[in-house]
Structure 1
Amino acid sequence: MKSHPLYLYALDPTHIGAGGYRMGRVDLTILRDAGSNLPKVPGSSINGATRSAAIYSLPEDERQRAMAYARATIDEKNKKHPHKGSQDPIASIFGYAEGDTEGESRIGVVSFRDAEILAFPVPTMLGPRWVTTAHLLESAGCTKVPRPASEDQVIVQAGAAAPKRLNLGWLLLSAVAKEIPFPEPAKGLPVFDHLKERLVVVHDNIFPAIVNANLETRTSVSIDFETGAAAEGALFTYEATPRGTLFRGQVDVDDGRFRELVPAAMPLLEKALALACTLGLGGMTTRGFGRMQFALVK
C-alpha cells in the first residue's frame, strides 16, 4: 500500500452538508469530525466526485463503455451489465458491486481518507492570516514546530513585520515571532509560499473555537418556479468553510493486490481530481461553491 498526501486549497467557500435541517442558529450545517468538532471533507465526497469526473476524463470510446456499465449498475430495472466490472476502465480502479444474482464485487485500487483542515484563514488587523497548530503541522510531516506557551499566546512566522500582539477575529493575543516549518508538496501549489509567510500557530485548545467562530453563515431563499420569485416562508441559512481554507487528506493506492492496475490508475486519478476540483466538491456548486486547487504528493 502506498499513501499519497492530498492537499486541497479552497478557491470558493465549501459546503459539505451534514444532511437535513436542524433547529438552531443555522438550518443547514456542515459536516464536522465527531472528535474535534472541526469541519472536514469526507473521503466519500472526494471519492464520489473523483469517480464521476473520471468517466469524463476517458477517451470517447472508453467513456461510452464506462457510462453504459454505470447505468446498468444503478438502474434497478436493468441489471444486465454490458461487461464485467473487472473489464470496466472505471470500476476496475474505483471498485464495484454489481448487485444482481450473478454479479461480482471488489474493492477499489484507490481509497480516499477524510481531508481535515491544515490551515484556516482568519481576518486580522494585518490582513488575513492562516491559523494552524503544532499537532497539525507535525501530522503533515513537519519537524521542530514551535508551540505556544499558553492559550493566550500565538507563534507568528518570523519576518520584518512580526507584531507583538495579534487579533484573530475578536481575540487579541500576544505574539512571538519564530520560524514555522510548512509542508512543501512535490508538485506544489503556488499559494503555499503565500500561506507560509502568513502562518500563525495557536494552542490546540483554542483552535476549534477560532475555526467555528470564523465560518461563513449565509442566508438564501428557495425560488417559486411558477413565479420566478422568492417563495414565501422559504428563507434558510447555511454554513460554509471560507475560501482560502487548506485541507490535507490522503489517497491510498493498493499496489500489493492490484499491482498491474496501478500504472493506469495514477494518470486517470490525477486527471479526475483536476476535473472534480474544477467542477466543485460538496453542495451548492451551482452557486459558486466548492472549487479547489489540489496537489497530490507522490
Structure 2
Amino acid sequence: MKSHPLYLYALDPTHIGAGGYRMGRVDLTILRDAGSNLPKVPGSSINGATRSAAIYSLPEGERQRAMAYARATIDEKNKKHPHKGGEDPVARIFGYAEGGDEGESRIGAVSFRDAEILAFPVPTMLGPRWVTTAHLLERAGCSKVPRPASEEQLIAQAGAAAPRRLNLGWLLLAADAREIPFPETAKGLPVFEHIRERLVVVHDNLFPAIVNSNLETRTSVSIDFETGAAADGALFTYEATPRGTLFRGQVDLDDGRFPDIAPAALPLLEKALSLACTLGLGAMTTRGFGRMQFALVK
C-alpha cells in the first residue's frame, strides 16, 4: 500500500452538506466529524468528484467507452454493461459493482481518506492568521511543535512583526513568538509559504470553538420565476468553511493486491483531481463554491 498525503486549499467557500434541514442557527449545516465537531471533506465526496472527473480526463476514444459503462451502471436494471468492469479504464481503478447473475464486482485500487482541517484562516488586527494545533501539525509529520502553556496563550510564528497579544476574531490572547514547523512535503502549493509565515498554534481545547465561531453563514432565497422576485417562505441559511482553509487528507494506492493497476492509476488520478478541484467539491459549485488547489505528495 502506497499512501500519498493530499492537501486541499480552498479557493472558494466550501459547503459539504450534512443532509437535510436542522433546527438551530442555520438551516443547512455542513458535515462535521462526530468526535471533534470540526468540519471536514469526507473521502466519499473526494472520491465521487474525482471518479466523475476521471471520465473526462481520458482520451476521446476511452472517454466514450467509460461514459457508456457509467450510464449502464446507473441504469435502473444495471444489467446491460457494454463491457466488463475490469476492461473499463475508470472502473478498474475506482472499483465497480455490476447487477445481474453474471455481473462482477471488485473494490477499487484507490481509496480516499477524509480531509481534515490543518490550518484555518481567522481575522486578526494584523490581518488573517492561519490557526492550527500542535496535534494537527504532528499528525502531518512535524516534530518539535511548540505548545501553548494554557488556553489563554497562543504561539505565533517568529518574525519581525510577532505581536505580544493577538486577537483571533473576538478572542484576545497572549502571544509567544516561536518557530513553528510546517510539513516540508506540503510545498506543492505556492500558498504554503504564505500560510507558514502567518501560522498560529492554539490550545487543543480552544481550536473547535475558534473554527465553529468563524464559519461563513450565508442567506439565500429562491426566486419566483413568474415575478422575478423572492418567493414567499423560501428564505434559507447555510454554512460554509471560508476561503483559505487548508485541509489534509490521504490517497492510498493498493499496489499489493493490484500491482498491475496502481502504477498507471496515479497519472489519471492527478488529472482527475485537477479537473475535480477546478469544477468544485461539494454543493453550490455554480454559485461560486467549492474550488480547490491540490497537492498530491508522491
TM range (shorter): over 0.9
**How far is 1:222 from its partner?**
1.1
**2:180 maps to which residue?**
180
Amino acid paired to 1:269: L
For residues 103 and 239 of structure 1, the distance between their equivalents in structure 2, rounded to whole angstroms, comes to 42
Amino acid paired to 2:282: G
Aligned length: 298
For residues 162-183 of structure 1, the C-alpha deviation after alignment (integer angstroms, 9 at most, x for no partner) is 1000000000000000000001
**1:295 maps to which residue?**
295
For residues 98-142 of structure 1, the C-alpha deviation after alignment (integer angstroms, 9 at most, x for no partner) is 122211110001000000000000000000000000000000000
For residues 230-282 of structure 1, the C-alpha deviation after alignment (integer angstroms, 9 at most, x for no partner) is 21110000000000000000000000011111222000000000000000000
2:72 aligns to what SS in structure 1? Answer: helix
Amino acid paired to 1:253: L
User: 29-38 or 228-237, which moves further after superposition?
Assistant: 228-237
* 1:1-298 equivalence runs, <5 A: 1-77=1-77, 79-185=79-185, 188-298=188-298
Distance 1:92 1:112, change over 3 A: same
User: 109-118 or 219-228, which moves further after superposition?
Assistant: 219-228
**Given that residues 7 and 186 in structure 2 are in contact (C-alpha distance below 8 angstroms), is that contact kept between their aligned partners in structure 1?**
no
For residues 25 and 180 of structure 2, the distance between their equivalents in structure 1, rounded to whole angstroms, comes to 36
**Given that residues 78 and 100 in structure 2 are in contact (C-alpha distance below 8 angstroms), is that contact kept between their aligned partners in structure 1?**
no
Distance 1:30 1:126, change over 3 A: same
1:144 aligns to what SS in structure 2? Answer: coil
For residues 295 and 61 of structure 1, the distance between their equivalents in structure 2, rounded to whole angstroms, comes to 29
For residues 201-241 of structure 1, the C-alpha deviation after alignment (integer angstroms, 9 at most, x for no partner) is 00000000000000000000012233333211100000000
For residues 13 and 185 of structure 1, the distance between their equivalents in structure 2, rounded to whole angstroms, comes to 25
2:172 aligns to what SS in structure 1? Answer: strand
User: 185-194 or 100-109, which moves further after superposition?
Assistant: 185-194
For residues 46 and 253 of structure 2, the distance between their equivalents in structure 1, rounded to whole angstroms, comes to 15
1:172 aligns to what SS in structure 2? Answer: strand
Amino acid paired to 1:151: E
TM-score for the superposition, normalised by structure 1: 0.98
**Given that residues 7 and 294 in structure 1 are in contact (C-alpha distance below 8 angstroms), is that contact kept between their aligned partners in structure 2?**
yes
**Given that residues 77 and 99 in structure 2 are in contact (C-alpha distance below 8 angstroms), is that contact kept between their aligned partners in structure 1?**
no
**How far is 1:186 from its partner?**
6.1
**Given that residues 117 and 247 in structure 1 are in contact (C-alpha distance below 8 angstroms), is that contact kept between their aligned partners in structure 2?**
yes
**Given that residues 185 and 295 in structure 1 are in contact (C-alpha distance below 8 angstroms), is that contact kept between their aligned partners in structure 2?**
no
**Given that residues 184 and 192 in structure 1 are in contact (C-alpha distance below 8 angstroms), is that contact kept between their aligned partners in structure 2?**
no
User: 8-17 or 254-263, which moves further after superposition?
Assistant: 254-263
Amino acid paired to 2:56: Y
**Given that residues 78 and 98 in structure 2 are in contact (C-alpha distance below 8 angstroms), is that contact kept between their aligned partners in structure 1?**
no
For residues 42 and 156 of structure 1, the distance between their equivalents in structure 2, rounded to whole angstroms, comes to 30
For residues 23 and 83 of structure 1, the distance between their equivalents in structure 2, rounded to whole angstroms, comes to 47
For residues 3 and 77 of structure 2, the distance between their equivalents in structure 1, rounded to whole angstroms, comes to 39
For residues 64 and 185 of structure 1, the distance between their equivalents in structure 2, rounded to whole angstroms, comes to 37
Q: Percent of aligned pairs with the same residue?
A: 89
**Given that residues 78 and 99 in structure 2 are in contact (C-alpha distance below 8 angstroms), is that contact kept between their aligned partners in structure 1?**
no
**Given that residues 12 and 244 in structure 2 are in contact (C-alpha distance below 8 angstroms), is that contact kept between their aligned partners in structure 1?**
yes
5+ unaligned residues in a row in structure 2: which ranges? none
For residues 226 and 64 of structure 1, the distance between their equivalents in structure 2, rounded to whole angstroms, comes to 40
